[in-house]
Amino acid sequence: MARQAGRVISRGPPGRGPERPFPPRRTNAGSAAAGRGPAAEDEQARSPAELLKVVIGQFSIATALAFYLGWVRSAAYYGYFGLSTSMVGLSTSEYVLGSVGALYLPLMGVGLATALVTALHPRVVALLRRLPSARSLLPAGRAVGWGLVALAAAGFFAALAWRISWGRPAIPWLITWGAGLLAYLELVRSSLAGRRSGVGVQLIALAALALGGVFWLLGDYAGYAGRAQAREDAATIAYRTDVTVYSAQQLALGGRAGIVEDVARSEGGAYRFRYTNLRLLVYAGDRYFLLPVDWRHNGADPVIVLSPSETIRVELIGSPFR
């Protein structure tokens, strides 16, 4: 081995001549350091912030959806008793909490459907690749999907133009199934074509249409859940919180749907009139919304609204049946 001009040259056995200098060693540290530039470091620094933005955005969407469905449910519930949500004056948290009963069943259904599609999609694509003859079903599926969307559009415009409402409950179902089928078939076509990046405009439009149908269905279900709960509560009024109202002046409530008015014999008391056979519907906005014990959904029996004051005292007795 000889040293020449700062280079190390290895001489092999006689007859082979000098060998080439040893190549410099390459280390992973150098390549890794070269790969990490300012942009990569900034991306790593921004990743927690970006994740936080995504989480906040999803939470905001979920909160807005819960508020809307809670409002729809409350409007249907109190509308059964002849009240509006503006009259009751519920808070935002009460709307959000009220949507829980109208959300968990639909969300479980949507989650189950999404899990099934995600699990079965690779198998469907693999089957279509093994059996090219089965691809002839795709045009038929598209025809069915577009037919459902066309029926939904016809029903929608008929409801607007001629006030035809008998087919309205079917419109969101037709939109959801039709657009959802078309969106999935477009996804299958993209998978068969081998496109792994990018989402087509048609797929985005169909998915948005299907989500609109799902949103419509959720609103209809929230309204149905509110009316069903109102009918159940109206049928069991006697088991709700018992209310007794004491008043210094006569309120003219006696004899209405079972309300009993008692008048004190002595005039020295602060409250001369007592009203019983009342049940609590809700307390909101510093007001009591009361129902007579014999209240019926007939358009004649009232909902009594009272605000506590110096001349009115309200006593609540919890139901022993709850």
Q: Are 159 and 168 in contact (CB under 8 A)?
A: yes
Instruction: Provide block-wise average pLDDT over 10 residues at a time, the chain (322 residues).
Output: 47 50 50 45 55 68 86 94 90 85 80 87 87 85 92 85 75 91 88 67 86 90 92 91 90 81 77 90 91 88 88 85 64
| Residue 6, pLDDT score | 46
Helix H segments across 164-294?
Answer: 170-193, 201-235
Q: Are 296 and 257 in contact (CB under 8 A)?
A: yes
Report the amino acid identity of residue 297.
H
Task: Find, among 309, 304, 292, 303, the residue nearest to 247 by Cα.
Answer: 309
Contacts of 310 (CB under 8 A, 6+ apart): none
Extract the tokens encoding 214: 């799902």
Q: Is the dihedral of CA 249, 251, 252, 257 positive or negative?
A: negative
pTM: 0.71
Please name the residue that has the structure tokens 């969106």: 183
Distance CA 152, CA 144 (A): 12
| Residue 224, pLDDT score | 92
Q: Are 256 and 290 in contact (CB under 8 A)?
A: no
| Residue 2, pLDDT score | 46
Read off φ and ψ for residue 192, nearest 5 degrees: -65, -30
Q: Are 292 and 300 in contact (CB under 8 A)?
A: no
Half-sphere exposure of 80 (CA within 13 A, CB side): 23
Read off φ and ψ for residue 234, nearest 5 degrees: -65, -30
C-alpha distance across the termini of the chain, in Å: 99
| Residue 37, pLDDT score | 47
Helix H segments across 81-200?
Answer: 85-88, 92-98, 100-130, 137-162, 170-193
| Residue 146, pLDDT score | 93
pLDDT in tens, 272-300: 889 999 999 999 888 999 999 989 888 88
| Residue 148, pLDDT score | 92
CA dihedral 159, 165, 169, 171 (to 10 degrees): -20
